[in-house]
Structure 1
Amino acid sequence: MTTARPLDPVAEVDAPREVCRLVADDHELAAHHTVRRTVFVEEQGVFAGSDRDALDDDPSTLHVLGLADGRPSGSVRLYPVGPGQWKGDRLAVLPGRRAGRLGIALVRFAVATAGARGGDRMVALVQQPNEVFFRRLGWERLAEPELYVGIPHVRMAIGLR
């Protein structure tokens, strides 16, 4: 049984509300996958059982964990798809944390990370109701909506330079 660490009131008050970082260990990777499973399997029913695929085991895939008030609450993964090209996907924020800015922080973190690794452009396949959210962050639509896993999605992109 693990004992929870006592809260340091000063550190907790000074801590940022939303923090994004690349997963650092197996524990954080498990938290990343738990967020995705909660959103894509349990809440939305997009996937049956698990949303994991071969990309999760690819060493070039980067897994990002989003923390809200110090708790795992969001995730996104990104990976190179060609020279200068990156793809972001599996953006997920737990239902109780969507009113905050964690989704914005996760998208900006993914874009900045891909750019810092030499990327020129990032693409994503976004659920159609989230298109406006991405447009507000500077993304542009590349094509008309298409079905992915039976749900309308929009191809979008953003320049990284």
Structure 2
Amino acid sequence: MNIPVPATLAPTGARSTPGMGTAGIVCRPAVTPADLAVHQAIRHEVFVREQSVFADSDLDEHDRGESTIRLVGYCDGVAAGTVRLFRLDGPGGLWQGDRLAVLPQFRVHGLGAPLVRCAVATAGRHGGTQMVAHVQLANVTFFARLGWTAVGAGETYVGLAHQRMQIALRTWAPGSARQTGDGRDRQVEDGGPGAARGQHQEA
């Protein structure tokens, strides 16, 4: 399934990310109604139609939250993946990332890691100090390689076995170097608050 990207939304200057496959990968916030529709269409395809994690829709109260940021990952201009992040403690520094999804035909391009790094960087730019995620057990090693640490025993999340994981965030001051939470330099696209460049699916 290809999620169409309107010409006005197609990213320009997409560049290949070393070690992440051959596709030009860009990750940026979904802000317009068209962006948000693409973001939700990918989530629905993966979590409802492919994985049957949710029966009808994966939308929840966080999709209405003021702090929620939705990111879309593109491979050579085609919308291919998503991730969502939001504050957990009001004005505090704790954030959660979830709804990491990559369409099946794009998983060979390694879009999952740039999406996770983008979410980490975005939370840091918004003043976050720590980020947590409920990770499917099959993806724990993937997150660990990106600098995440398992916390406590396994848990049940949306009816499936998960592991709670966390990562410390780098906060950003005006004019500071732009880095992701795991210390890797990344180019950032200034398309709005939290914009950044960026196979796994995570509820």
TM-score for the superposition, normalised by structure 1: 0.90
Contact 1:18 1:101 in 2 (8 A): no
1:68 maps to a residue whose letter is C
Unpaired segments ≥5 residues, structure 2: 1-5, 16-23, 171-203
State, as a whole percentage, how many aligned pairs show the same letter: 49
Q: Map 1:1-161; keep pairs closer than 5 Å.
A: 15-16=14-15, 17-82=24-89, 83-161=92-170
Deviation at 1:100, TM superposition (A): 1.4
**1:72 aligned counterpart, secondary structure:** strand
**Partner of residue 8, structure 1:** none
**How far did 1:142 drift?**
0.3
8 Å contact from structure 1 (residues 141, 154) kept in 2: yes
Runs of 4+ more than 3 Å apart: none
1:54 is displaced (CA, Å) by 1.1
3-state secondary structure, aligned to 1:47 = coil
Q: 1:72, CA displacement in angstroms?
A: 0.8
Displacement of 1:101 after TM fit? 2.2
The Cα of 1:148 is off from its aligned counterpart by: 1.6
Number of residue equivalences = 152
Q: Secondary structure at the match of 1:115?
A: helix
User: Which runs of 5 or more residues in structure 1 are unaligned?
Assistant: 6-10
Secondary structure of the equivalent of 2:152? coil
From the two aligned structures, give the one with the greater strand fraction: 1
Distance 1:159 1:30 in 2: 31
* Contact 1:22–1:65, Cα closer than 8 Å, also in 2: yes
CA root-mean-square deviation: 1.5
Cα distance in 2 for partners of 1:20, 1:141 equals 26
- CA–CA distance in 1 between the matches of 2:76 and 2:127? 31
What TM-score results when the alignment is normalised by the length of structure 2?
0.72
Give the aligned residue type for 1:152.
A
Structure number with higher helix proportion: 1
